[in-house]
Chains A and B, each alone.
Chain A
C-alpha cells in the first residue's frame, strides 16, 4: 500500500512536470498555431539562471523566482528574434525555425557554459520525506504536485478572469476576428510566449528539484515527451495537454517499475511507442477539437 502510494505520487509529480511543459506548448499552438521546438531550451535557460543565481549567493527562493521570470523573458525574446520575422509563414516553417533555434541554443550552452552538468543544490528540507497518514512521501514530490496544481489553477484564473487572458482566449478562437476587435497582435504574441515561458520555467525548477543538475541538453528529452503529450492530448487543447502530461508520467513510472534495471534504457522508447500506438486509434488525440471539419 505504502509503495503503491509512493509510486502514485511519483507518477503525479513527474506527470505534473510534463503537464506544465505540454501546457506551455499547447498554449502557443492553440493561440498562434505552431509548435515551439525550442521550448525545452527555455527550461534549460531557467536551470542555468537558477544555478548562477545560487552560485553568486542569492537565496534559494529568490533564485527560483528570478529563474522563472528569466524563462518568461527568454521566451519573449525568442519570439521577437526568431519567430516574429516568420509571422504568417506556414506552421512547418515555424517548427523548423524552432528546431534550428533549439540546436543553436544547445550548442551555445555547450560552448559557453560547458559540457558537464552543473549541480543545483536543493535545500535540505527538499530532499526529506514527510509523513502523511502514516505513509512517508518525498517532499519534492509533494511540492511538485502542489506547484502543478497551483500553476494550472492560476493559468485557468488568468485566462478566464483577466482582460488580457480573455483576449488570449479570443485570439485562440479566431485570431483575425480578435484583431478586428482591437486586440493588438504583438501583445498576443508576446503575452502567449511569456506565459508559455513562465510555465516552462516552473517545469524547469520542478525538473531540477527531481534531478538536481542542469546540463545543456536538460530540456531536450522532457520536451520530446511533452510534444507527444500535446499530440496525445489533442493539439492545442489545454485540458488535453495536462491530461497527456499525466498519462505520460503514469506510463513512465509503470515501465520504470516493470522493466528490469538493465533494460531501463528502453523505458523512453517503449513509452513513446505506446503513445504513438494510441495515435493509431485516435489520430486527433484524446480531446478532439470541438469544431466540425467544415470550411
Chain B
C-alpha cells in the first residue's frame, strides 16, 4: 500500500492512463435507451396481431411503468413499498371521473357534484391533473412514512393500500362503490403507452443519478454514515416517495384508459402481489431489473391464465380465475428470495459497450479537467483563525444511572491535531457520539467555531463543518468508490462550479485512489477503504475532522503510511483533527496535544511527551499497559 499525494506524479499518471470517467448522464442515457428499445421491439410488432393481444401488450407496458414507478422509491431507498397500488387505483378513478362523458357518468354516478359531472377532459390534461393529485397525496402520505424505517415503513405503506381500498368502496357517489366504474374512453394505444414509458424510465434514471438519488442510495447502504455526510435522509425519502407516487398515479390513469371499466378489487392485494413479484424478480435496486422482471412475470402470467382457461374448457372443477395466478406469484416471490434475493440484475443496469457515445454532449471537457491538479486552497478549509475551534464544554452523559462522562471539556483548533486516548470504557466513544450528534448529552455544550451545535442532528452537525470516520468502516458498500465521495460532495453543495464527478475524481486523485473509481467500495482492499473513508469525510470540506480509531486493524507499515497521510492532510487543508486511537505510537508522533480520559473524566492534557511522563496517565493507562 502506498500513499502518494504528489500532485505532479498523479496528474501525469492520470494523463497516461486516460481513465474512463464516463458521466452518470451518459451511462444512464445508454441504459434508458436500450431498455426502451428492447420493450418497443418486443411489443410493437405484437400489437398488430389483434385487438386482444394489443390490449395485453399495452397493459404490460403500463405494468412496466408502474413497477419502474415503485422502484423510484424502493430501489433507491431499499424500503419496499407494498402500498403504491393505492396511488395507481386513485389515479385510475380520478382520470375516469375527469374524462368520461357526462351522459355515462349520469347513469351510474347520479350523485356526482355538478362540476365533476360536466367535466369531459381529454387524456393529456386529465393525466396532468392526476399527476398533480398523486403528487399531493404522495406528500400527505410521505410525511409520516418518510420518518419510518425498515419494517415499520413497509407495514405503514401496506396500511395505505387498505385505506385506499375501503375509501374507494366507500365513496360510492364518486366510484360506484364495489360495482364497476365503466365507460372510460379506451384511448391509450401502444405508442402512447411507450411514450409514457419513456418518460417514466427517463425520470427513474434521472432521479437515480441525481444527487438526491445518490444520497438516498447512500442511505440505503448505511443510514448513519449517510447522515454523517450531511445527507438529509427524511427529505430525500419524501422526495422519492412523491415522485414515485406521481408515476404510479399516471400509470393508473393509463390503465383506466386502456381497460375502460374497473372496480376497487382491481387495485388491491392481487395487483400488489403482481407488481412486487415483478419488482423482486428483476432486482429491486435496478431499473433494468424492474423492466425485465415485469416482462418476464407478465408473460408467465399470461401463460398461467391460459392454463386456467384450459381447465374451464375440459369442464373440470374450476378454481376462481385468480387462484392459480396468485399461487404462482407467491411461489415465484419465494423462489427468488431463496435462490437469488437480489434479483436477476442485482444492482446493475444493462449497458452495451459500443453505445457509450450515444449521449449527444461529448465527454471531452471531462478529460481536460481531470488532468488538472486538484483544487484545494488552504484558506477554503482551515481558516487558521485563532478564536475559532471545535469545542466540547463540560459534557456530561449519564446512561440510566451510570455516568459515562463527567464534565469533559475538549478543544480542537483549526490545523491542530488532538489525540483522545484512554483505556477501554473510558468514555471516548461516548464523547465522539455526542459531538457528532448520534447521542444526546445530559449536560454541557458543544460548539463549532462560534456556533452552538448542542443536540443538533447528525446531518446538521456534518454540514456545520465536522467530518468523521468510523471505528468499523462504514462505507456505502453498494456504491462505487467515486460515488462514495460524490455523496459528501453533493451534500456540501459548494464544489467550485465543477460537476460532482469531477470534484469527486479530483479527490480520488488526491488520495491516489482513482484506479478504483468504479469499483464497489466494499470490494477494495482494507487499507484503501480506510483512506476512502477519510477522503469521503474531507470531501465534505469540513473544518474539523474526527477520526475514530483510523489505525485499527493496521499493521506497523500501514499505520506509518497513515501517519504520513494524516500529517499531510493537516498541513494541506488546515483542518483541525480529533483522533481517537489505541495506537499510541501513532498518537504520540502525530498529535500536537493529547487528552487522556479515564472513567469519564479528563485526567491529563498536554503535549505528547508531557503526557507520557504524567504519573496519573501512567497509572491509569500506560501503567496497565506495561503490566
Interface residues of A (CB under 8 A from B): 29, 34-35, 82, 85-86, 89, 91-93, 95-97, 99-101, 103-104, 106-108, 110-111, 115, 221, 224, 227-228, 230-231, 235, 263, 265-266, 268-269, 272-273, 275-277, 279-280, 283, 285, 292-295
Contacts and interface: CB of A to CB of B under 8 A. Distances in A.
A284 B247 CA distance: 29
Nearest to A278: B144
A280 B159 contact: no
Given A268-B163, A276-B141, 15 more contacts: A85-B338, A86-B338, A96-B276, A96-B280, A101-B330, A101-B334, A103-B330, A227-B158, A227-B159, A269-B164, A269-B167, A272-B163, A276-B159, A279-B147, A279-B156
A263 B167 CA distance: 10
Nearest to A279: B144
A95 B320 contact: no
B191 interface: no
Nearest to B270: A103
User: Binding site of A, secondary structure by majority: helix, strand, loop or mixed?
Assistant: helix
A123 B225 CA distance: 60
A91 to B, nearest CB: 5
Nearest to B80: A92
Nearest to B178: A265
Contact of B327 (A89, A104, A275): A104
B125 interface: no
B166 A268 contact: yes
Contact of B334 (A100, A110, A279): A100
B269 A103 contact: yes
B410 to A, nearest CB: 19
Interface in B459-514: 470, 472
Given A35-B155, A279-B147, A107 B333 contact: no
B147 A99 contact: no
A276 B166 CA distance: 16
Contact of A111 (B169, B170, B323): B323
Closest 3 CB pairs of A and B: A104-B330, A265-B170, A100-B333
A115 to B, nearest CB: 7
Contacts of B320: 110, 115
B446 to A, nearest CB: 17
Given A99-B276, A276-B144, A265 B166 contact: yes
B158 A104 contact: no
B224 A224 contact: no
B163 A265 contact: no
Contact of A293 (B150, B269, B439): B439
B326 A107 contact: yes
Contact of A231 (B152, B326, B438): B152
Contact of A91 (B150, B166, B167): B150
A265 B162 CA distance: 12
A115 B318 CA distance: 12
Contact of A273 (B163, B169, B323): B163
B326 A104 contact: yes
5 contacts: A91-B151, A100-B273, A103-B330, A224-B158, A276-B159
Contacts of B164: 269
A294 B327 CA distance: 43
Interface in B520-561: none
Contact of B399 (A103, A115, A292): A292
Interface in B137-175: 141, 143-145, 147-148, 150-152, 154-156, 158-160, 162-164, 166-167, 169-170
B337 interface: yes
B82 interface: yes
Contacts of B369: none
User: Binding site of B, secondary structure by majority: helix, strand, loop or mixed?
Assistant: helix
Given A96-B80, A294-B438, A283 B330 contact: no
Contacts of B348: none
Given A97-B333, A292-B399, A283 B280 contact: no
A228 B155 contact: yes
Contact of B154 (A82, A95, A266, A293): A95
Contacts of A230: 155
Given A103-B329, A272-B163, A266 B280 contact: no
A229 to B, nearest CB: 10
Contacts of A268: 162-163, 166
Given A279-B144, A293-B438, A294-B433, A82 B151 contact: no
Interface in B168-213: 169-170
B439 A294 contact: yes
Nearest to B317: A111
B423 interface: no
Nearest to B161: A224
B439 to A, nearest CB: 6
B337 A86 contact: yes
Interface in B116-144: 141, 143-144
Nearest to A280: B144
Contacts of B224: 295
B169 A272 contact: no
A231 B153 CA distance: 9
Interface centre among B151, B166, B439 (most CB of A within 10 A): B151
A96 B337 contact: yes
Contacts of A110: 319-320, 323
B82 to A, nearest CB: 7
Nearest to B162: A224
Contacts of B323: 107, 110-111
B341 interface: yes
A97 B337 contact: yes
Nearest to B279: A96
Contacts of A273: 163
Given A100-B333, A276-B156, A266 B319 contact: no
Contacts of B472: 295
B151 A277 contact: no
A176 to B, nearest CB: 16
A93 B341 contact: yes
A29 B151 CA distance: 9
Contacts of B337: 86, 89, 93, 96-97, 100
A92 B150 contact: yes
Contacts of A227: 155, 158-159
A97 B334 contact: yes
Interface string B410-422: 0000000000000
A95 B273 contact: no
Contacts of A294: 433, 438-439
Contact of B326 (A96, A97, A103, A221): A103
Contact of B319 (A111, A228, A276): A111
Contacts of B19: none
A285 B153 CA distance: 12
Nearest to A29: B151
Nearest to B338: A85
A96 B333 contact: yes
A34 B338 contact: no
Nearest to A110: B323
Contacts of A34: 151
Interface centre among A29, A82, A92, A293 (most CB of B within 10 A): A92
B331 interface: yes
B170 A269 contact: yes
Nearest to A264: B170
A192 to B, nearest CB: 16
A266 B330 CA distance: 30
Contacts of B141: 276
Interface in B309-344: 319-320, 323, 326-327, 329-331, 333-334, 337-338, 341
Contacts of B160: 276
